[in-house]
Amino acid sequence: MGDRKGLILIGAPGSGKGTQAKKLQEQLGYAHISTGDLLRAAVAAGSELGLRAKGFMDAGGLVPDALVIDLLLEALATPAAAAGFILDGFPRTLPQAEALDAAVRIDKVIDLQVPFGLIEERVTGRRMSPSGHVYHVKYSPPKVEGICDITGEALYQRSDDTPDKVRARLSKFEAETRPVIARYQSKGIVVAVDGVGDPDEVYARIAAVL
Ligand code: AP5
């Protein structure tokens, strides 16, 4: 693994992990690996993994560890991740963190903190293009409503971005992912970053601690 850099962006649903990971990828040239994006691609392709994952995702639950760990280890083994990687949405459970730590070195964990009171508005206002570009109806609107600025595709709303699913996802975060943050805190590699404010301001805070 040599000098390869390993970063984790961890935070509640809608805390801005994907938004910030894309900026970090552009600046640092490391691979942005989002298990949520990989799983949505598998669902869209109708693969066996996608068929098995879809029900858990639609319910706002977590996909079983064994499926997600294999997916992540495959992504880490690609040439794109050779210089470094930014994990977004993984690890979310202690078994996932143990599998990750057995495979690679993690240099830093950015704990992106956003009060739960702001999360619902962020998540329910999110719009996506099929190519994965992310918008928000209020905070990051496209130039033409409902159309991706970059690809011209029609934007859609994720099936798990409804208020009841957001609550289910937040309770999973509290139960399953908080202990992951504590695990890395005990290793002394967690840096808390305030995720409230303009995305560029949040990015500047992250860049300052890297
Ligand atoms: P995943 O896609 O990882 O969902 P998530 O963790 O719930 O995170 P989100 O994608 O909702 O939010 P984000 O933090 O990336 O925020 P974003 O930048 O988009 O996972 C989806 C599902 O897949 C899971 O529920 C689970 O079922 C399954 N899954 C995935 N990984 C798994 C794993 N490891 N184990 C088991 N199951 C797994 O921003 C949100 C919105 O806010 C956007 O509209 C954005 O424009 C806006 N925004 C961003 N930053 C700001 C800002 N600073 N100010 C105002 N608005 C902002």
Is residue 92 annotated as a catalytic residue, yes or no? Answer: yes
Nearest to 37 by CA among 119, 129, 106: 129
pLDDT, position 131: 87
Q: Which CATH number fits domain 5-198: 2.40.50.140, 3.40.710.10, 3.40.50.300, 3.90.1150.10?
A: 3.40.50.300
Domain ranges of the chain: 5-198
pLDDT value of position 3 = 86
Residue 173 DSSP label: I
**Catalytic annotation on 108?**
no
Catalytic-residue membership of 54: no
pLDDT value at residue 113: 97
Query: Using CA atoms, how far apart are residues 52 and 48, in angstroms rounded to an integer?
Result: 6
- CA 3 – CA 85 distance, rounded (Å): 12
Distance, CA 167 to ligand 1 centroid (Å)? 13
Q: Rounded to whole angstroms, what are the CA distances from 189 to 7, 96, 111, 183, 203?
A: 10, 17, 10, 10, 19
Cα–Cα distance measured from residue 56 to residue 43, given in angstroms and rounded to the nearest whole number:
11
Check residue 2 and give its pLDDT.
65
Contact 189, 106 (CB under 8 A): yes
> What residue ranges of the chain have pLDDT lower than 50?
1
Estimate the crossing angle of helix 65-76 against helix 94-103, to 10 degrees: 30
pLDDT tens by residue, 76-116: 999 999 999 999 999 999 999 999 999 999 999 999 999 99
Q: Which of 92, 122, 127, 165 is catalytic?
A: 92
- Integer Rg of the chain from CA: 16
